[in-house]
Amino acid sequence: MAEARSGRSATLADVARLAGVSAMTVSRVLNDRGNVSASTRIRVQRAMDQVRYRPNAMARSLALGRSQTLGVVTFDTAQYGPGSAVLGIERAARERGYGVTITVIERPDHDALRSAVLSLDDRMVDGMVVIAPFAAMAGALRDLGRGTPIVAAEAGHQGEVPIVGIDQGLGARLATRHLLEFGHRTVHHISGPADWIESRLRSDGWRAEPGDRGVTAPPALDGDWTAQSGYEAGMRLADDGSVTAVFVANDQMALGLLHALHERGVRVPQDMSVVGFDDIPESAYFLPSLSTVRQDFARLGAVAVELLDRLVTDDDFVADDRLLIEPSLVVRESAGPPSP
Amino acid sequence: MAEARSGRSATLADVARLAGVSAMTVSRVLNDRGNVSASTRIRVQRAMDQVRYRPNAMARSLALGRSQTLGVVTFDTAQYGPGSAVLGIERAARERGYGVTITVIERPDHDALRSAVLSLDDRMVDGMVVIAPFAAMAGALRDLGRGTPIVAAEAGHQGEVPIVGIDQGLGARLATRHLLEFGHRTVHHISGPADWIESRLRSDGWRAEPGDRGVTAPPALDGDWTAQSGYEAGMRLADDGSVTAVFVANDQMALGLLHALHERGVRVPQDMSVVGFDDIPESAYFLPSLSTVRQDFARLGAVAVELLDRLVTDDDFVADDRLLIEPSLVVRESAGPPSP
DNA sequence: TGCCGAAATGATTGCGCTAACATTTGGGTG
DNA sequence: CACCCAAATGTTAGCGCAATCATTTCGGCA
């Protein structure tokens, strides 16, 4: 006869009845509010244990207007970046006592984003992280004009919504500089797809780095993040005797490039140097191991959630437009000095 | 003057007031119940549009006892398998009108799993998918003894909870057979960590495949899924002249193996054949491209969610113990006949 | 024209919890 | 020992929605 109504799990009222107090007192014990005598507290706790009481999060949310849940909007991709970011966010959220509800959108367009955000709103999430690596999402984010706090991750600058990201431009410059410092006259580039913000930022960084070195960047080859596209670009680069160094916008494409170069008998790094971006776990074991730019996604998630938490908790808090995390260069074997 | 109470978003009561009907009628329109005249329906819909009404999912859940949300329990890893499975589950859930709440557990032990499941229960999820690739989780799953339906994915057999998975044993046999059919006398093996169920199943499949061919399997080398461990195992295999074929329990380790063999001057597939497992997107561009076993995680997610949906919807439904999806062999360049 | 039954609509109540206010209890103080 | 204040506890109401049952409306038929 532990449970009042068999079947359903015990409610706060059941506990109150069992402990011989009012529901309110149980609620106070539950939420560790003061003003409960030690003896009743113990009695209530005993009752809770006895019926294995678990507070109903929904009911609490409804009463409070808050859900202790954060929403994450991401899109349908197995890409390393977004996937890692979600994990980082989830972990950080959990550490701060939030649950996480995920909504995946199929296409990164205005309507899909809007409806994802609305559906998270319906679930009364306290805040959202939108992973928005597409240029097309910038406008959509701006148009939301909303109440519950939103933080964009891996996004470009669009005003309105605060951004948390890893400094793509800096990463690209680190990679390019690494190559230039080996003495390469110029650095070629395989870019990501044009509709990704990060792709543009990496290309911009690559183009900007030579600076006053008096080097003009050659035209970039367009990739689409896949190893396949890196392979195709590699086939073209292999035929161009003037190419001695390539900055590739991600590690998968760099893998494709390495594959193509190997097929063509171009040795890396002796004949051609390659630097990638992302530092996926595999890249240390490419042939040769890949010099690349590491992004700390766990950190990204932590920063995004911390920011969001503040926005949720403190009404007066005004967030910076932009929080950038510094990436770092990982030097391995795929880049070296040009052969004389 | 569109919204009744400025600030907060409109409630069903606001719509009712505006349309001049009772809340119940609005609810009927909302849920597309019958017994509403065309004219009132239109009037109500207009009112809804006017105040941009969005039903509050929490309130509905509380009233209904159902939340149209599925919970996913996974654990903290960037492994390709679990990550892909989560995506597949999310997509399938969305297609069936469910939201998804994710809980990541740090360690795959009894208590962590239990508390994750309880916390999802608190949120009144209608069902859960537990991604449980660790042997240690089997017992924990059995101990739950619960009310809301649970489906385990990528798990071993433990009774109690229905399992959805990809047939690891079959995959391992396909890989091993592929090598044997090239004429290799025996197939060596680099295994995954012993505490992963899938790791054991793959090793078992490998050991079983030779069957009556009269080949006895050599001892396996222990890996831990990382390319690093594959590399280390590779260093040992390279020194053993008798090894001509290796089945590696995942593609990352296969990559490490390829790296090690390359360093030692062992040619693949001429001197040694290699088959991996998973078919990660990169493996087609390894050097050489990797023959491997493909797992369809999207399908896995879809099957898991479909099963869960039935368990949720139909009280009388009794699930099969075990639903296995067939993996397929992807033949590329890393395996071939032994040199004479 | 009056009556009947089905369709349309409404009133009440409760899901499980907490905020806000009301009430009681228990010392310490003069 | 009465009084007062603070601590402890209880009461009421409401978060937004839907199930249940009650009531109204309306068309069809004798």
A308 Cβ contacts chain D strand, under 7 Å? no
DSSP-derived secondary structure for B203-250: HHHHHHTTGGG-PPPPPPEE--SSHHHHHHHHHHHHH-TT--EEEESS
- Domain spans in chain A, listed from the N-terminal domain onward: 12-55, 66-166+297-325, 168-295
pLDDT of residue A87: 87
Q: Which amino acid is at B125?
A: V
Question: Between residues A316 and B206, which one has the greater pLDDT?
Answer: B206
Q: Are the Cβ atoms of A78 and B83 closer than 8 angstroms?
A: yes
> What are A7-30's pLDDT values in tens digits?
578 999 999 999 999 999 999 999
CATH class of A66-166+297-325: alpha beta
Determine, for residues A101 and B103 on separate chains, whether the beta-carbon distance falls below 8 Å. Answer: no
B292-320 pLDDT per residue, tens: 999 999 899 999 999 999 999 888 888 88
Does strand C come within 7 Å of the CB of A12? Answer: yes
Distance from C-alpha of B291 to C-alpha of B258, rounded to nearest angstrom: 12
Residue A121's pLDDT is what? 93
Encoded tokens for A66: 């808050």
Helices (DSSP H) in A221-332: which residue ranges? 227-239, 251-263, 297-313
Reported as a single tens digit per residue, the pLDDT across B27-74 is 999 998 878 888 999 999 999 999 999 999 999 999 999 999 999 999
Chains A–B, number of C-beta pairs less than 8 Å apart: 139
Options 1.10.540.10, 3.90.930.12, 3.40.50.2300, 3.40.50.10260; CATH of B168-294 = 3.40.50.2300
Q: Nearest Cα to A92, choosing from A265, A259, A310?
A: A310
Q: Shortest CA–C1' contact from B62: which nucleotide?
A: C15
Q: What percent of chain B has pLDDT over 90?
A: 72
pLDDT at B87: 87
Q: How confident is the model at residue A138 (pLDDT cuts 50, 70, 90)?
A: confident
State the Cα–Cα distance between residues B292 and B255, nearest whole angstrom.
11
User: pLDDT at residue A207 above 90?
Assistant: yes
Q: Does domain A168-295 have CATH number 3.30.1490.100?
A: no
Comparing A78 with B89, the larger pLDDT belongs to B89
Beta bridge partners, B174, equal none
Residues B232 and B256 sit within 8 Å (Cβ to Cβ) = yes
Are B313 and B98 within 8 A, CB to CB?
no
> Would the Cβ of B66 be found within 7 angstroms of any atom in strand C?
no
Q: Can you tell me the mean pLDDT for A54-83?
A: 90
Does the C-beta of B35 come within 7 A of strand C?
Answer: yes
State which CATH number among 1.10.260.40, 1.25.40.10, 1.20.1250.20, 1.10.10.60 fits the domain covering B12-55. Answer: 1.10.260.40
Instruction: Indicate which of A56, A58, A79, A117 best probes the interface with B, i.e. most B CBs within 10 Å of its own CB.
Output: A58
A62 touches strand D (CB under 7 A): yes
- pLDDT on residue A144: 80
Question: Cα(A124)–Cα(A69) distance, rounded to whole angstroms?
Answer: 8
Tokens 């809980």 — which residue? B103
B63 touches strand C (CB under 7 A): yes
CA closest to A297 among chain B residues? B78
Report pLDDT digits (tens) over B114-167.
Answer: 999 999 999 999 999 999 888 888 888 888 777 899 999 988 766 678 999 999
Looking at residue A190, the DSSP 8-state letter turns out to be: E
Question: B287 contacts in A (CB within 8 Å)?
Answer: 258-259, 262, 287
Chain A contact set for B284 (CB, 8 A): 227-228
Three-state secondary structure call for residue A189 = strand
Whether residue A47 is predicted with pLDDT greater than 50 in this model: the reply is: yes
Long-range contacts: A152-157, Cβ < 8 Å, 24+?
A: A153/A85, A153/A89, A153/A129, A153/A300, A153/A301, A153/A304, A154/A81, A154/A82, A154/A85, A154/A197, A154/A198, A154/A300, A155/A130, A155/A131, A155/A197, A156/A197, A156/A200, A156/A201, A157/A321, A157/A322
Say which residues have a Cβ less than 8 Å from residue B124's Cβ, sequence separation at least 6: A56, A57, A58, B61, B65, B66, B67, B69
Residue A271 has pLDDT above 70, yes or no: yes
CB of A26 within 7 Å of some strand D atom: no
Of A54, A76, A282, the CB nearest to B122: A54
CA of B65 to C1' of D11 (A): 27
- Measure the CA–CA gap between A245 and B223, rounded to whole angstroms: 35
Looking only at the bridges linking them, the beta strands covering B292-294 and B328-330 are antiparallel
Which CATH architecture best describes the domain B66-166+297-327? 3-Layer(aba) Sandwich (3.40)
Cβ–Cβ gap B282/A99 under 8 Å: no
Residue B123's closest chain A neighbor by CA? A57
Element (H, E) at B166: strand B163-166
User: With a 7 Å cutoff on the CB, does A45 touch strand D?
Assistant: no
Residues in chain B with CB shorter than 8 Å from the CB of A252 are 281-282, 285
B275 in helix, strand or coil?
strand
Contact between chains at A122 and B54 (C-beta distance less than 8 A): yes
Q: Copy the structure tokens of residue A129.
A: 């992280």
**DSSP 8-state symbol, A136:** H
How close B153 gets to chain A, by Cα (Å)? 19
Distance B29 CA to C8 C1' (A): 12
Nearest to B282 among A54, A124, A227 (CB): A227
Per-residue pLDDT tens digits for B71-111: 999 987 778 888 888 989 999 999 999 999 999 998 888 88
Q: Which residue of A has its CA nearest to B59?
A: A62
DSSP for residue A183? T
Whether the beta carbon of A28 falls within 7 A of nucleic chain D: the reply is yes
Q: How close, in Å, is residue A328 to chain B by CA atoms?
A: 20
Residue numbers in B near A90 (CB within 8 A):
102, 104
Domains B66-166+297-327 and B168-294 share a fold: yes
Residue B39 CA and nucleotide D23 C1' are separated, in Å, by 20
Q: What is the predicted pLDDT for the residue at B1?
A: 36
User: Which residue's alpha carbon is at the shortest distance from the C1' of D12?
Assistant: A24
DSSP per-residue codes, A48-112: HHHHT----HHHHHHHHS--SEEEEEEES---HHHHHHHHHHHHHHHHTT-EEEEEEESS-SHHH
Q: What is the pLDDT of residue A140?
A: 83
